Amino acid sequence: MKIIGLTGGVGSGKTTVANFFAELGIPIYIADQEAKRLMNTSKVLHKKLKVLFGEKAFIDDGLNRPFIASKIFNDKNLLEQMNAIVHPKVGKHFKKWLKKQHSEYVIKEAAIIFEQQMESHYDLIVLVTADRTERIKRVLLRDQTNKDAIEAIIGHQLPDTDKIKKADFVISNNELNATKVQVLKTHKAILQTITNSKF
């Protein structure tokens, strides 16, 4: 079974693209969602995150996301320490999940595959892109944030021009119908690549 990475910058529409792959019967693992869930449910992570961020890391046993976001926003070292705590746990969970799947390939959606130089963990990588103005508009609608904060996040991520050179497939997600067509085309190309690799 092949592991396909699905990545893209904030607001590019990775989840929308993942849902289109799911409609084709492909199992989807959304790493960011699982990380948030594990940070809320794992006692081990609960303890380690409290040591790292202090008691304010949790409110009523739930993750205090605005507080943590404010702490890691301009502190790369703190962000790396948090990732070092959370990512191994997500990795173990993914391996367990993977054993339960029965398909030619699965998709693991992760926002910063290239930024963290995790390409070797995947057989192929699909990059989702979108126009910058569209990305900002989507995040403003989705999150309680402002344009400056979104611009700062985009600034911390690798530019699409660099990611395109590293990706195996690129899906431009500006218009839904066109995106759906690209997903089907990419799905067929992935299956063909898997078939060719068997010989």
pTM attached to this predicted model: 0.87
Please count the other Cβ atoms lying within 10 Å of the Cβ belonging to residue 44. Answer: 10
Task: Give the pLDDT confidence of 80-102 residue by residue, as tens digits.
Answer: 899 889 989 999 999 999 999 99
- In whole angstroms, what is the distance from residue 57 CA to residue 48 CA? 10
Where do the domains of the chain lie, and which CATH numbers do they carry?
1-27+105-199 (3.40.50.300), 38-100 (no CATH)
**Tens of pLDDT, residues 38-58:** 998 899 998 999 999 998 999
The pLDDT, as a whole number, for residue 77 is 87
pLDDT higher than 80, residue 122: yes
